[in-house]
Structure 1
């Protein structure tokens, strides 16, 4: 049985989220809907007990247990449920909501939300009741009349984030203080700022490592070395993977022609895009659209 994690009997709209900057709801239901890649204009912190397969960008994980999940709004995801029930809580929030406590660092630079990081942490069984309590308090405060409930909810949300950081090795959390890590983070954030593509007239401004190096005012060799050192992948691989992910999303979720999509993604001719896409996925854009 399969489902998108976004499905829930509780309905919400982007307008609701923008008015308040935060929303949380409980999930405890059978899973009956089809999986789909979902992108929205908010971050998500999710506590979920489930057996499923998670697809996040171009990566996939098998889940069986209780997890904290951290979803970046720039990356599409889907979840194929392999059990009859799921249980947990989903919180959605804007960057403005969480950064209103005078936090200067972008969430995209956080060890939990930055591009290329793992979005999930399996919780030890002893820690599950504590995390359940945090989300239950957020849910209760959301419905309360307390005039400072926004500040209290932010505190609970940050507590959940710090609990996840406790599960990471200390050296992982300290990496972003190095010059190479800062440059790699700037590259990844600049890359993500070009996405998602929202209309056929929009096109990628930066498409090569040299163009990114020029924008970041560094030598291209220095950029390539820093990105490879921190992420384990060369700059070209990040560009290829991100363009491929965007191509898949546009083929699945728009009715734009292949020519329009190729133009948006910076290809001079549709045949160049067809060759690129087939090399990365093993299939043509039209065949991928039909299958999706």
Structure 2
């Protein structure tokens, strides 16, 4: 199968629909899911095709065997292993045995809205190209199990504070991952030149939008600016980003703009006019049209719906 033929999924529901898997444990009203996948993969072994997932996945294998791939790397799965993958990579997975394996998926927007805006500054490993899985001792794995099962408990409730509760519990989970996995993580190191370019682009993108939101800079970067930051030709940068992640650089920028806009609309009283200015739009009408084009809802209505849920 050629790279251009591979499947692309923007959320777990799209993936499960394509694979013909049960949807009972997926709530499509939020950009977060958690469930024990033995309830999904009833017929084993299960081998997925190669696909790209435009969301984060965390897998907690208490009892199960198989393997997974990330781009050209193959990893075994076994009891006690924990691993995660981030958006944009070629992936596949094979399950030979499933007794208790929990899967958590979530979007960048969920992280920004319900954890905190500077999520990637505190947890830089989330932007890593490929992170090695870790096999933990039963005692250490039990600490993670207590956390993800509490998250699952909150996920199944209809509380108006559900996402905030999940977000706060997920911070603890990420801190545990940072403590046990990546306390010595070096964010500069990546496997090859293309991976380093993607890594630097993601970090520059994140920092730039943080600076925009805080008012440190006033003008949104163009592709040329991201290329200049790495002393690259913009066409070369665009080709690397598209080839390595499956997403055009313009899509990365648009997704980041929308994620930041949602966070500002939900977590601040800043006017829509000011949000438009902070995100580099000369006119609030241009921002409103842009936001609606990418979300099918106006920023005014988006904020109103969020405020009604929070009250």
TM normalised by structure 1 equals: 0.55
Answering whether residue 63 of structure 2 is matched by residue 52 of structure 1, we say no
Give the root-mean-square deviation of aligned CA atoms: 4.2
Gaps of at least 5 residues in structure 1 are: 177-181, 192-211, 224-235, 247-292
Query: 1:242-281 maps to which residues of 2 (within 5 A)?
Result: 243=243
Distance 1:93 1:13 in 2: 14
- 1:215 maps to what in 2? 226
- 2:274 maps to what in 1? none
- 1:260 maps to what in 2? none
Shift of 1:73: 2.2
Shift of 1:24: 1.2
Shift of 1:13: 10
- 2:53 maps to what in 1? 40
SS of the residue 2:165 aligns to: helix
Distance 1:121 1:213 in 2: 38
Query: 1:196-215 maps to which residues of 2 (within 5 A)?
Result: 215=226
Distance 1:46 1:218 in 2: 34
SS of the residue 2:110 aligns to: helix
SS of the residue 1:172 aligns to: coil
Distance 1:33 1:216 in 2: 41
Contact 2:66-2:97 within 8 A present in 1 as well:
no
- 2:93 maps to what in 1? 79
1:24 to 34, 37, 56: 34
Q: Are residues 242 and 126 of structure 1, via their aligned partners in 2, closer, same or farther at CA, if it must alter by over 3 Å?
A: farther
1:89 to 98, 102, 117: 102
Shift of 1:57: 1.3
Distance 1:86 1:168 in 2: 24
Contact 1:98-1:154 within 8 A present in 2 as well:
yes
Answering whether residue 129 of structure 2 is matched by residue 116 of structure 1, we say yes
- 2:303 maps to what in 1? none
Query: 1:84-233 maps to which residues of 2 (within 5 A)?
Result: 84-101=97-114, 103-105=116-118, 107=120, 110-118=123-131, 120-172=133-185, 185-188=199-202, 215-218=226-229, 220=231
SS of the residue 1:39 aligns to: strand
SS of the residue 1:20 aligns to: coil
- 1:11 maps to what in 2? 23
Distance 2:103 2:21 in 1: 12
Contact 1:71-1:119 within 8 A present in 2 as well:
no
Shift of 1:130: 2.3
CA deviation vs aligned residue, 1:85-129 (integer Å, no higher than 9, x gap)? 342211121211121247334659943332423152322211222
TM normalised by structure 2 equals: 0.52
Distance 1:215 1:244 in 2: 16
Distance 1:245 1:147 in 2: 35
SS of the residue 1:170 aligns to: coil
Contact 1:8-1:27 within 8 A present in 2 as well:
no
Gaps of at least 5 residues in structure 2 are: 1-14, 190-195, 206-222, 247-311
Contact 1:50-1:86 within 8 A present in 2 as well:
yes
Contact 1:10-1:25 within 8 A present in 2 as well:
no
